[in-house]
Chain A
Amino acid sequence: MFSGSLYELPSKRSDLMSWEGRNIISIDEFSKEDFYQVLENSEKMIDLLDKGTPLNVLQGKLMSSLFFEPSTRTRLSFHAAMKRLGGKIIGFSDPRTSSRKKGETTSDTIKMASAYSDVIVIRHPNPGAAKLAAESAEVPVINGGDGSNQHPTQTLLDLVTIQQERPPSSSDSNIDGCKVAFVGDLKYGRTVHSLCTALKNFDTSFKFIAPEELEMPKKYKEGTDYEETNELELSDADVVYVTRIQKERFPRPSEYERLKGTYVINENVMNELKDDAIVMHPLPRINEIKSTVDSDPRAVYFKQAFYGVPTRMALLAMVTGALEGGELI
């Protein structure tokens, strides 16, 4: 049991060797113990960053950063994470500058990068590319998003955000006991589906707030304690996870116009929230959260983006075996 500090959590998987060489492809592969391990190590990385303590556990190691499609937050935070741990980076952020342009397959590019580096991070437009990469590589592969399929490190940093930003709890984690309200496009939102799947490992309840056309698919609701509404009523929520409603999801533009202003977080909505609730968003936002609420301490979406760095530091250190034979204290 711990109250806000994961240091007090008895290590649920003392044998970190099981992480060495592991691929991070899908959130579905994570056990409850795995989530706790990532939360624990991410918290230690946050402390190191806060204190400015150098931790060169990846000195002499190389990360291949293979971005077959553009990304800002994911790429920059992986790079920051690797450099914060003393490692170096090779790779590309635009496939037009790689031999991809000459027709090389993803699989061959991965095999080459595997021979050059100690860990691979891949972002790819085709779903399933991360699994293929893991099959092609001799070194661990971390999925930085493969099309509409998976983006597991986003989910992990979302969990870290809830753990860090919610008040200390007497439960196993600060995530347990939370009522999580998902708002916006719940039908197509990859981050929402993935986080909902991960949260099933914790003692959480859900509120799904979406227009009828964009309701949460049944398979994610199954086996959960949830309520569903199309009213933006958030007074009972501990965590509010907002996503963007995209115009292209609607067959008729008039439908989009009717709904686009329905789920906007503004000062009035914030006034209804609990004092210790938090508002999250995977970013980029367009107009679903007014910039006027950014200064509200409950608006944690930029902190959420920051947590991408310590979360990815933890993952890089774990899968490369840098923490093997020791622990961060």
Chain B
Amino acid sequence: MMLVRHIKNGTVVDHIKAGKGLGVMKLVKGDTEDPVVLAMNVSSTRHGKKDILKLENVYLDEDTLDLVSLLAPNATVNLIKEGEVEEKRKVKLPSEIKGVLKCFNPKCITNQEREPAEPEFKVLKNPVRLKCKYCGEVFAEKFFKNVQKP
């Protein structure tokens, strides 16, 4: 057991599958200089073990939450304001992702210099994979587990 203090303002991402927390942290923390706490392998009645991420003074936009859902489809996100949970929601796996991730295929037309093609993926489920709508390649988690939000 350990004690991690409550945050006053910011975001708590809970119910991250154990082992996925580090990837989620890389994805969401951006360049914040405020405290970020990642607790790994915490006991959970629902999941056995889980990871929890606390971000002081950071609020996540919809695009970022979509990316979180790719790595942690069962995560819940708590928005904390003045020490109170203002909103609690489950992340939702989107059916498509547009404009936030680059295609992992270097030859894809979306990765060619100055071409006006916005990267766009169809999200496939069980397991979560991304299919590029341009080059048609399908990417498993090993490709997007270390992505950082641009």
Contact = CB atoms under 8 A, between A and B. Distances in A.
Contacts of A136: 116
Given A132-B134, A150-B136, A105 B107 contact: no
B133 interface: yes
Interface string B101-137: 0010101111011111100000000000000111111
B24 to A, nearest CB: 28
A194 B132 CA distance: 17
A147 interface: yes
A154 to B, nearest CB: 15
Contact of B134 (A105, A107, A131, A148): A131
A128 interface: yes
Contacts of B103: 128
A23 to B, nearest CB: 14
B117 A135 contact: yes
B135 A128 contact: yes
A48 to B, nearest CB: 34
Q: Determine the main DSSP class of B at the interface with A.
A: loop
Interface residues of A, number: 19
Contacts of A131: 109, 117, 133-134
Interface residues of B, number: 18
A185 B110 CA distance: 28
Nearest to A128: B134
A106 B112 contact: yes
A136 B135 CA distance: 16
B136 A127 contact: yes
Interface string A106-132: 110000000000000000111111011
B108 A127 contact: yes
A290 B137 CA distance: 34
Contacts of B134: 127-128, 131-132
B29 to A, nearest CB: 31
A149 interface: yes
Interface in B7-51: none
Given A105-B113, A105-B116, 6 more contacts: A106-B115, A126-B107, A128-B108, A128-B132, A131-B134, A146-B109
Interface of B: 103, 105, 107-110, 112-117, 132-137
5 contacts: A105-B113, A127-B136, A128-B109, A128-B135, A128-B136
